[in-house]
Structure 1
Amino acid sequence: MRKDFIMFKNVAVLLIFSVVAITSAQNKRIVQDISNNNWKLWLDPMAQWQNDVLFTPPVDVKKIPVNIPRGGWQALQKGESKAVHLPATVEEFHWGWNKNAFGVSGNYLGISWFTTEVKVPLSMKGKRIVLHFESVRFRAEVFVNEKLAGYDLINGTPFDVDITDYVTVGKSNAVAVRITDPNGNFDWRDSSNYMWGDYRTNPTHGFGGITGKVSLVATDHVFINDIFIKNKPDVNEIDAEISLTNNTSAAFKGNVLLEVREKKSGKPVWEKSFPVEAVTGDNTPLSFSIKIDNANLWDVDHPNLYVFKASLKNDKEVKDVAEKKFGFRWFEVKEVNGDKQFYLNNKRIVVRTAISWGFWPINGIAPSDELAKKQISDAKAVGLNMLNFHRTIGQTNVLDYADEMGLLYYQEPGGNQYPANQFNPKNELEKKQSDFYFAARDEKFFRMIKRDRSHPSLVIYNMHNERGAEPQKKDSLQMLAGHKLDPTRIMTYNSSNGPIKTGIDPRFKLHLLPYSNRFYNCGWFDQHHAGGPGVYHDNLYSNPKKYAKFTDNKEEIVYYGEEGAIGTPPRLQLIRDEILKKSKNIGWESDDYLKWYDAYDTFLKKNDFQKSFPNVDSLTRQMGNVSFYYQGRTIENVRINNTIDGYAVNGWESMKLENHSGIVDNYRNLKGDADLIARYNKPLYVAVKLTNKVLSVKDTTVVDFFIVNEKDIKGAFDLKVKATNNKKETVWTKTIPVTVTGGTTYGELLSAKNNFAPETEGYTMITAELVSKDNRVIATGADELFAVKLNKEKIASNIMVADTTGIVGKYFDSEKINFKNYKSGNPSGNCLVIGDFKPQQTGNPLVTDLLEWVNNGNTIVVINDIDIWATYFAKKEAADYRGFKTLGTSWYGGNYFVKETKWFDGLPQSCVFNWEYQCFATYNKNRVGLRMFNGETVVGCVSDHKQEVYSALTVMPHGHGKIIFCALDVFSCIKENELLKKAEGDGENASMKTFNVSAKNKANIIGQQLLLNLLK
């Protein structure tokens, strides 16, 4: 009997518990993700939209036009459609809908419909039911059971559509979303307003669709509509703000149970209940201070997360439960000994970031969770501690992974600019345009802030990028309104190129600091030098007071917000593999990438480059290393400076048409070897800086040593230095007593003016070890140089020179090379070098004096006027030449690569031109590729996203002789060149001021040796 009673009692308790749980569940919110429903995408290309009246929030759907499918609702069932899951865009499935997928031609403008069936469960009966959209682009008209229920055109932001009165609970309900894509960009520019009829619209990327997840959410009519976790300077303390909405006619009285637990372990760390009241409508946020004495702080190395839970109760009835993930952290500006610096959790941090334009593969605009995670892991792999949402609003899943994996974020809303001369409208049309635009841009900015303000990873908001106008009153009001929504973060007006004034300069420096409404017009120095030099070169470091990025401006935060674009191709082979796994007919870039890959693959196979580059990926990865090496060494300059507070690589992702300077391609494949950047982002190492990495044997380079020290190493040490040549022989050693300061001195000179002269040709590695007095190695570092022993052996015995400038002859004289000048007719020697010289025999005969001479076993070497001479020989049917391509620069880019060949004896071979070939690869040189379809290509080259490979050096057999077409800028290696003068702050061309253009530039020895090799 006793046993039976105990069993009955336990069952009764279980039944009671089950009833309570069910009752509670009935009152809690219910969230049903319908993104993976079977949605259909249907195009309505003939529908009219161009002259619609547009509405900004709040929108009363009962007062706006209702646009049903052309042909009626039945057309959605009869028309041709695609099965999709969300997020999805038209461009993902219909790029090239007009039979032209090239470039931007395949974009779709106009109306599309996304439809699905949603069963609303009986458990939602009596509740407030909404459709929650993470984002759409551009305009969404939301229909439920063929009735207009919602309207929104604040693209990229979340919004809710209350469908309580439109659905039938317990049955399947038809959801149809009419998307209008009126315009948009496929590059980085967000400063130009796009017109939609009479309206100026917020410029964004030109993809149309449902660009985020969609959920069906049911809550009680009294519910928690928002939670904001406000971080504070007391880093283990937060203020939790809870916003309540009461959709009933009676005031609500109850209590809210607040709980905090560790996200990873689930361990509860804090709990307290508070009485609350809510009047009808949206209520003023309630604030609760929470302090955890031993909180595990969030930072980039220790991304400790907590979960805040709020349970809204009325008596014993749970009305709603909501949670928010957060971290204990504080990001701020401090002034230390007159130097303004960034601090994270009371420790100095120098931010290293990259600008991400917000392009993604497949659908163009919305990352899968897998890609979002890959974005963060890539940034961590190269040692960055931040990324930027640049000129475009970011995505929630990216920030979620940044929170979880430890990466800071800087965010711009994108498209926040408006023409300065339109701020004060002069007529009714201008007023209509400005009223609409400002309402839309403000709503977008405020939604972005409310969406993202609890993410510990997000630390800075910036309003505009490269805004050319001074801040207007409306800009300041927008900043203050945004700062009221989130007073915990730094907010800046602009990140820009152009000349910055010393002292007060609102256009460049206007900013707000956490928990302060005071505007500062100085103290923040952010200047862009977006264009890179093409390759790392020796003039980027000259001495401890003269190097790229050197500054002594301690009075302001110094943040270089867009730096050093060097374009390189994507990892085409990896992308091709991904495309073919899914379908070559899906994705806005697929057609272009497949053709791009085929062009590279065909070239390698056809021109005998596979011994040097076994496949396309081996080639593109080495090209990526060109940019990686430059950025790594420039980041090193930033860190040894000890005054610079932030540096942003231009840029993060590349896509098919632009922004080829990305560290990753659009599929988030690292474009080069991660270590080439990561080694210079380490928290502790010895920076070895050479004034000359390319020079002649027995010439001298100066070696300076710095320490990068974020580990508070301090005291007296020995710096042990050695040099090792390519035969593994130690050729130089030195021990230098040094002192390390530590603390917030993150970059410090240890030793300067150490001379080293290589005795052997090829590579020499110079290494350094910081050794403690008890003989422990504390830090290491290295750099390498390449030395050339000029080799004139076996050059032609009887050289002639055709050059009206005398530059070639002057160089030959300096090297004691005998030659004769050529004027016209049949050359008398066995090798003719053509510099600045035009063809003399321009008639029609296919056989000329020169060709007859070559046919007899002689050689022509063309090193200048390359197009003129290639065209000349093409007309004589000696060269299958079809024009040239000027190689791209900066974010377009262009790269050279050489196979294994006798023509490059004594020089690096089977490689892409990197710092060793700075005499050819920098952007100030004459960089062209030849469309040459006969002869042997020795050096290939590519440019931007062109689906072809060119020749930069072709050896053309002709009879018993040969013609060598050298498009490499050999001429610049033997003459004085003019330094291009650019204005201070000319971001695109800033790198043009950095070059050593003298003929005495030691790195020119590479080009000089190549010239001699071509004479052999």
Structure 2
Amino acid sequence: MKRWKYLTVEYPKEPMETHTKNIDGINVLFQYDKVVPSFDTYKFNEPTRKYLSLDGEWKFNFDLENRGLEGKYYAVDFDDSTWQSVMVPHCIDTMEKHYFQSFSQADYGKGPGFFDGFAWYRKHITLNNTWNNKVITLKFLGAYYSAWIFVNGEYVAVHEGGHTPFSIDITDYVHEGDNLIAVRILRDKWYDDYLAQKPQPITHRTHIVHSPVDLWPYGGLTRNVYLEGTEKVYISKILVNARDKKLEIKVIATNDTEEERHIKVSINPGEGTNGILQEHEVVIRPKSVRVISDLIDIPNAELWELDNPRLYEARATLDNGDSLSSKYGMRTFRTCDTKLLLNDKAIFLKGLNWHEETFENGRAMTKKEYDRELSLMQESGAIFLRNCVYNRHPYAYEYCDSHGLLMLDDIDHFWITCEMQKFQLEEYGLSRALALKMAWNNMNHPSVVMWCVQNECDMSKPDIFRAWVYDLVNAIRSIDIQNRPITQAQQSIRWADPSLDICDVIGVNEYLGTHHETDKEHELALRLERLHMQYPHKPILITENGAWSIKDHEETEKWHIERFNAHYEQVLSVSEFVVGYVMWVFKDYKTRHPYARKNNGVSGMGIVTFDKLEKKKIFDVYKNAKVPEYHLQKVPK
């Protein structure tokens, strides 16, 4: 792994070297020369594997002047006794809560929430002799934005992209006894002066996002970190697709030894399915990967439905004892002319956008916080969540799997210029890597029913924009064995969008009469009809629409409700081809965009408040909004 010695901030290509290989007829995703593994194991649920949580106390220090490499902050004998102790998962922005939790403009620009640049984490761990002869993998569920990993004083690898889990093989870097893990984090500066009347945005050419957007870029080791130890021959990943009483399963096995191995693979489709255990014998060459495919009858499996989200657990086991499992649900989700069908029932996606952050912990959310927020979204009547505009912690997907919430999964392509689209497409490759990782990591979740590839990105150079979107869509289709519909969130209703024919569902962020053309709000239905005439066989989804209000401020709350009613009623009037409305946004949210500085960065567009999740008046109006009569009606195959 020595060749990944990227210790600069910008690289010639994305440094994970993300690519797919066709193995036994299946496209398999690789990073750092290894199969991208399952991250479901963060719960430590494989009985034959070794686990060590790295959550908890770490030593932490800011390095805003970038002296850490020269000062050897990564060295085993470096004295970190003067550093702060922090608890991982950790969000840099919440370290001084009196600044982060303020709603006063006087506190905007103050505190660690505006400390941009480098920071370091260090942790000593002890490995006993039971870790010997294991493949030892270091797994991060999220580290924003870039993370350089050092083990026992040696540089190992760098990861770019703050919202996607990643995994690094550190077998050759650790030993029995005391070991040091050091992580160097970078969060980019977004503006030249956060307090200037007109702050100038700063562009970072290789990064996604490359310039400021309307959200808060929480820095740090914001999600769980852990070690996993497996046998030298092990199962890296399971892919599942359950439909029509059959389980299609792909078991990806890795041989990390220098010898050819003959292995037996047992596949159990799960308790309650009445499926029969299947066995396969496979030869794996040294340092190589095989994919074992099967199609197993599951005659007793029930459909995964919104009101009965029935889950099963498939498990693959090798004859050396290694095993890996994956939860799954039997369901279909597809387009049919202008409709979306869940299990062959037409469905209207009444939904919410949501940001993964809390008043207390920023992006380092706790399970209790996820439970509270996701259950409140269900209470609002939403059946569909859009993960705007980045992947979530694995627990969020698991919650939706088990509670019957549908998801539109999304990646970090927000306001990307055509110049940067071209650079990503032809040179750097991070755009494609993000799309591949999203589909690969979250493919097995029955709650995830659609992918979104971009949000409000520049289309001023149509040929570039089209080629970029086409590449992202093809990347996802190349690995998603469930073949989910794909959409994008275009900015406003644009008939000249050069890429609408590429995606399965036309996604529209529309704020007609709110952000622009204030006298044209009544034209929404007409404009949607015109868009439908251009694409008469594609469903249209409102991926964003919203307004803003201050709780208990009568005038703004009334205006918020009026805007919602005006738009939603028009959507229902054309619901034969407009198949959903995803409101912006569930909760007031933090943003570094200058428009929100008067509230210390809090945008008031939610149906509940940022700090206490108190319901605004719009909450009940949204909750009581009706859906079309065809919702959940059976459609002939």
TM-score scaled to structure 2, two decimals?
0.77
Structure 2 SS opposite 1:361:
coil
Distance 1:493 1:526, change over 3 A: closer
Q: Is this contact kept in 2: 1:129–1:216, CA < 8 A?
A: yes
Q: CA deviation at 1:482?
A: 2.1
1:828 counterpart residue number: none
- Which stretch shows the higher mean deviation, 303-312 or 148-157? 148-157
Q: Is this contact kept in 2: 1:298–1:329, CA < 8 A?
A: yes
Q: CA deviation at 1:624?
A: 5.4
Q: CA deviation at 1:154?
A: 3.0
1:484 counterpart residue number: 478
User: Is residue 2:12 matched to residue 1:30?
Assistant: no
Q: Is this contact kept in 2: 1:306–1:326, CA < 8 A?
A: yes
| Equivalent AA in structure 2 for residue 346 of structure 1 | D
| Equivalent AA in structure 1 for residue 327 of structure 2 | K
Q: Deviations over 1:22-77 (max 9, x none)?
A: xxx99932122221x3222222233259xxxxxxxxxxxxxxxx665469766652
Counterpart CA distance in 2 for 1:293 and 1:439 is 43
- Which stretch shows the higher mean deviation, 277-286 or 379-388? 277-286
Structure 2 SS opposite 1:275:
strand
2:146 counterpart residue number: 139
1:1011 counterpart residue number: none
Q: Deviations over 1:836-878 (max 9, x none)?
A: xxxxxxxxxxxxxxxxxxxxxxxxxxxxxxxxxxxxxxxxxxx
CA radius of gyration, larger in: 1
| Equivalent AA in structure 2 for residue 39 of structure 1 | W
User: Which of 318, 324, 327 is the equivalent residue of 2:326?
Assistant: 324
Q: CA deviation at 1:161?
A: 2.2
Q: CA deviation at 1:415?
A: 2.7
2:302 counterpart residue number: 296
Q: CA deviation at 1:454?
A: 0.8
- Please list, as runs of the form range in 1=range in 2, the aligned pairs for 1:73-152 lying within 5 A after superposition: 76-81=79-84, 83-94=85-96, 102-106=107-111, 107-152=114-159
Q: CA deviation at 1:311?
A: 0.6
Q: CA deviation at 1:91?
A: 1.4
Q: Deviations over 1:956-977 (max 9, x none)?
A: xxxxxxxxxxxxxxxxxxxxxx
Counterpart CA distance in 2 for 1:409 and 1:71 is 40
- Which stretch shows the higher mean deviation, 323-332 or 374-383? 374-383
Q: Is this contact kept in 2: 1:621–1:671, CA < 8 A?
A: no
| Equivalent AA in structure 2 for residue 661 of structure 1 | M
Counterpart CA distance in 2 for 1:670 and 1:268 is 46
| Equivalent AA in structure 2 for residue 111 of structure 1 | F
User: Is residue 2:39 matched to residue 1:47?
Assistant: no
2:510 counterpart residue number: 529
| Equivalent AA in structure 1 for residue 564 of structure 2 | Q
Counterpart CA distance in 1 for 2:349 and 2:301 is 24
Distance 1:117 1:97, change over 3 A: farther
Counterpart CA distance in 1 for 2:561 and 2:245 is 38
Q: Is this contact kept in 2: 1:558–1:645, CA < 8 A?
A: yes
Q: CA deviation at 1:383?
A: 1.0
Q: Is this contact kept in 2: 1:114–1:178, CA < 8 A?
A: yes
User: Is residue 2:544 matched to residue 1:557?
Assistant: no
User: Which of 666, 670, 676 is the equivalent residue of 2:610?
Assistant: 666
Distance 1:282 1:410, change over 3 A: farther
Counterpart CA distance in 1 for 2:245 and 2:479 is 22
Structure 2 SS opposite 1:400:
helix
Q: Is this contact kept in 2: 1:624–1:671, CA < 8 A?
A: no
2:446 counterpart residue number: 456
Q: CA deviation at 1:348?
A: 0.7
Structure 2 SS opposite 1:88:
coil
Q: CA deviation at 1:199?
A: 4.6
User: Which of 159, 162, 182 is the equivalent residue of 2:166?
Assistant: 159
User: Which of 650, 661, 677 is the equivalent residue of 2:584?
Assistant: 650
Q: Deviations over 1:495-515 (max 9, x none)?
A: 21345339xx53334215xxx
Q: CA deviation at 1:664?
A: 3.0
Q: Deviations over 1:500-555 (max 9, x none)?
A: 339xx53334215xxxxxxxxxxx44333225659xx9x9899xx98997887664
| Equivalent AA in structure 2 for residue 569 of structure 1 | I
Q: Which consecutive unaligned segments of at least 5 residues does structure 1 have?
A: 1-24, 50-65, 187-191, 426-432, 513-523, 571-618, 684-706, 713-742, 746-1016
Q: Is this contact kept in 1: 2:94–2:362, CA < 8 A?
A: yes
Q: CA deviation at 1:444?
A: 2.3
User: Is residue 2:185 matched to residue 1:179?
Assistant: yes
- Please list, as runs of the form range in 1=range in 2, the aligned pairs for 1:877-892 lying within 5 A after superposition: none
User: Is residue 2:612 matched to residue 1:678?
Assistant: no
1:220 counterpart residue number: 231
Distance 1:409 1:71, change over 3 A: closer
Distance 1:334 1:127, change over 3 A: same
Q: Is this contact kept in 1: 2:275–2:297, CA < 8 A?
A: no
Q: Is this contact kept in 2: 1:387–1:408, CA < 8 A?
A: yes
Counterpart CA distance in 1 for 2:208 and 2:339 is 38
Distance 1:670 1:483, change over 3 A: farther
Q: CA deviation at 1:211?
A: 1.9
Counterpart CA distance in 1 for 2:522 and 2:474 is 42
Counterpart CA distance in 1 for 2:93 and 2:538 is 44
2:502 counterpart residue number: 510
Q: Which consecutive unaligned segments of at least 5 residues does structure 2 have?
A: 1-44, 195-199, 591-600
Distance 1:268 1:90, change over 3 A: farther
Q: Is this contact kept in 2: 1:135–1:211, CA < 8 A?
A: yes
| Equivalent AA in structure 1 for residue 132 of structure 2 | K
Q: Is this contact kept in 2: 1:97–1:108, CA < 8 A?
A: no
Q: Is this contact kept in 2: 1:628–1:672, CA < 8 A?
A: no
Q: Is this contact kept in 1: 2:223–2:364, CA < 8 A?
A: yes
1:309 counterpart residue number: 315
Counterpart CA distance in 2 for 1:640 and 1:347 is 20
User: Which of 276, 279, 293 is the equivalent residue of 2:285?
Assistant: 279
User: Which of 350, 353, 360 is the equivalent residue of 1:352?
Assistant: 350
Distance 1:418 1:527, change over 3 A: closer
Structure 2 SS opposite 1:527:
strand
Structure 1 SS opposite 2:95:
helix
Aligned length: 555
Please give the root-mean-square deviation of Cα atoms over the aligned residues, in Å.
3.8
Q: Is this contact kept in 1: 2:333–2:342, CA < 8 A?
A: yes
Structure 1 SS opposite 2:158:
strand
| Equivalent AA in structure 1 for residue 116 of structure 2 | L
Distance 1:105 1:285, change over 3 A: farther
Counterpart CA distance in 1 for 2:573 and 2:362 is 38
1:501 counterpart residue number: 495
Counterpart CA distance in 2 for 1:71 and 1:646 is 50
- Which stretch shows the higher mean deviation, 658-667 or 407-416? 658-667
Structure 1 SS opposite 2:115:
coil
Q: CA deviation at 1:369?
A: 1.4
Q: CA deviation at 1:344?
A: 0.2
- Which stretch shows the higher mean deviation, 548-557 or 128-137? 548-557
Distance 1:138 1:267, change over 3 A: same
Counterpart CA distance in 2 for 1:42 and 1:532 is 47
Structure 2 SS opposite 1:377:
helix
Aligned-residue sequence identity (percent) comes to: 19
User: Which of 226, 231, 240 is the equivalent residue of 1:229?
Assistant: 240
Structure 2 SS opposite 1:374:
helix
Distance 1:286 1:567, change over 3 A: same
Structure 1 SS opposite 2:318:
strand
Distance 1:308 1:411, change over 3 A: same
Structure 1 SS opposite 2:482:
coil
Counterpart CA distance in 2 for 1:326 and 1:624 is 41
User: Is residue 2:380 matched to residue 1:385?
Assistant: no
Q: Is this contact kept in 2: 1:194–1:200, CA < 8 A?
A: no
Q: CA deviation at 1:494?
A: 3.1
Q: Deviations over 1:589-616 (max 9, x none)?
A: xxxxxxxxxxxxxxxxxxxxxxxxxxxx
Q: Is this contact kept in 2: 1:118–1:172, CA < 8 A?
A: yes
Q: CA deviation at 1:376?
A: 2.0
Counterpart CA distance in 2 for 1:526 and 1:26 is 39
